[in-house]
Amino acid sequence: MKSRELDAPSRAADRAAGPQNQGAAFVRQCLALTEMEMRKLRHDPTELVTRALQPMLWLAVFGEVFSRVRAIPTGGSLRYLDFLAPGVLAQSVLFIGIFYGIAVIWERDLGIVHKLLASPAPRVSLVLGKALSGGVRGLTQGFAVYLLAWILGVGIKWGPGDLAGVALAILLGAAAFSTLSLIIACIVRTRERFMGIGQLLTMPLFFASNAIYPISIMPGWLRVLARLNPLTYEVDAMRALMVRGGSTIFGMGFDFAMLLVSSVVLAAIASRLYPNLAR
């Protein structure tokens, strides 16, 4: 038994750290964090079910009623319910992402954040791992919204390219909002303050977007806000990809570029701030 592990080749510090090795390690570390979240969900999937209820209410109640009264012009030939479905999907991804910081604050009140930050995983990989798991949660919302929208007779595009595009938009949107949430968590640090800010932020993000009405009917100041809001680009891309007859206003390439840029910028800020949580 004495010194049985001493000669083992596995002391982490002694292993070679070539550039490919580092790339592979980075991906593995990201995925390890995502896996951590997925395993938690598998133990307790109730969260996914309760989360799916809200978009269902929006579609089945709000959507159905406003389709009937035709109070909101869709800016094109789309039925209101068809116009709304991508907006509701994006909204549910936003809600999942924006409250992500709560989990991070919980991990900080325990010593989990400390241990993650004292591990060799680069800060960026920790942040991206979290962002990706937000995306996977978002995809589960996608299933729920697609299912209900289909039952309600929304004209859904089932092409594999369209579905993949929506999945990518969900992943990027979730990444942007969960990293935004992480940034807020790093700044406010306590659960109570976070809840306050989270509530304060979600509604403006939601209403200052094209999720439930087109930008064309907004007053000028709101248009400016909507153009700065990543949710707008997520919805705009999804509207063309998810429903028959839907189209983008800003162009698919521009939408995805904006989503990517906001995710990258937010992830860069979050990786800078994340170490503060352990101080």
Partner 1 sequence: MNILETHALTRRYGDLTAVDGVDLSVSQGEIFGLLGPNGAGKTTVIKMLTTLLPPSGGRAVVAGFDIQRQPSRVRQSIGYVPQLVSVDGTLTGYENLLIFAKLYGVPRSERQARISSSLEFVGLQDAANRMVRGYSGGMMRRLEIALAMLHLPKVLFLDEPTVGLDPLARQLVWQHINSLAGEFRMTVFLTTHFMEEADHLCDRVAIMNLGRVAALGQPDELRASMAKPEATLDEVFAHFTGHQLDNGGDFREISRARRAIARRG
Residue 43 Cβ vs partner 1, minimum distance, rounded to whole Å: 6
Residue 32 Cβ vs partner 1, minimum distance, rounded to whole Å: 4
When the beta carbons of 40 and 244 are compared against partner 1, the nearer one is 40
The answer to whether the CB of 74 falls within 8 A of the CB of 154 is no
- Under the binding rule (CB under 8 A), the answer on residue 189 touching partner 1 is no
When the beta carbons of 28 and 244 are compared against partner 1, the nearer one is 28
The answer to whether the CB of 48 falls within 8 A of the CB of 137 is yes
**Candidate ranges 57-65, 103-111, 203-211, 231-239; the one touching partner 1 (CB under 8 A):** 103-111
Query: Position 219: which residue type?
Result: P
Residue 45 Cβ vs partner 1, minimum distance, rounded to whole Å: 12
The answer to whether the CB of 100 falls within 8 A of the CB of 274 is no
User: Is the sign of the CA dihedral 21, 23, 28, 33 positive or negative?
Assistant: positive
x/- map, 61-100, partner 1, by CB under 8 A: ----------------------------------------
**Candidate ranges 89-97, 118-126, 221-229, 256-264; the one touching partner 1 (CB under 8 A):** 118-126
Residue 107 Cβ vs partner 1, minimum distance, rounded to whole Å: 8
Q: Which of residues 33-62 bind partner 1 (CB under 8 A)?
A: 33, 35-36, 39-40, 43-44
Q: Smallest Cα–Cα separation from 80: which of 102, 58, 101, 98?
A: 58
List 60, 72, 112, 188, residue binding partner 1 (CB under 8 A)? 112
List 49, 53, 71, 118, residue binding partner 1 (CB under 8 A)? 118
Q: How far apart are CA 158 and CA 52, in angstroms?
A: 21
Question: What separation in angstroms does the CA of 215 have from each of 52, 66, 73, 92, 169?
Answer: 26, 17, 11, 20, 19
- Under the binding rule (CB under 8 A), the answer on residue 23 touching partner 1 is no
Q: Which of residues 210-239 bind partner 1 (CB under 8 A)?
A: none
Q: How far apart are CA 96 and CA 267, in angstroms?
A: 17
Buried b (16+ CB within 10 A) or exposed e, 136-173: bbbebbbebbbebbeebebbbbeeeebbebbebbbbbb
List 18, 192, 203, 279, residue binding partner 1 (CB under 8 A)? 279
- Under the binding rule (CB under 8 A), the answer on residue 16 touching partner 1 is no
Q: Smallest Cα–Cα separation from 146: which of 86, 212, 101?
A: 86
- Under the binding rule (CB under 8 A), the answer on residue 161 touching partner 1 is no
The DSSP-derived string for 87-112 is HHHHHHHHHHHHTHHHHHHHHHHTTH
Residue 270 Cβ vs partner 1, minimum distance, rounded to whole Å: 17
Q: Which residue ranges make up the site for partner 1 (CB under 8 A)?
A: 1-6, 8, 10-13, 15, 25, 28-29, 31-33, 35-36, 39-40, 43-44, 107, 109-112, 114-122, 275, 278-279
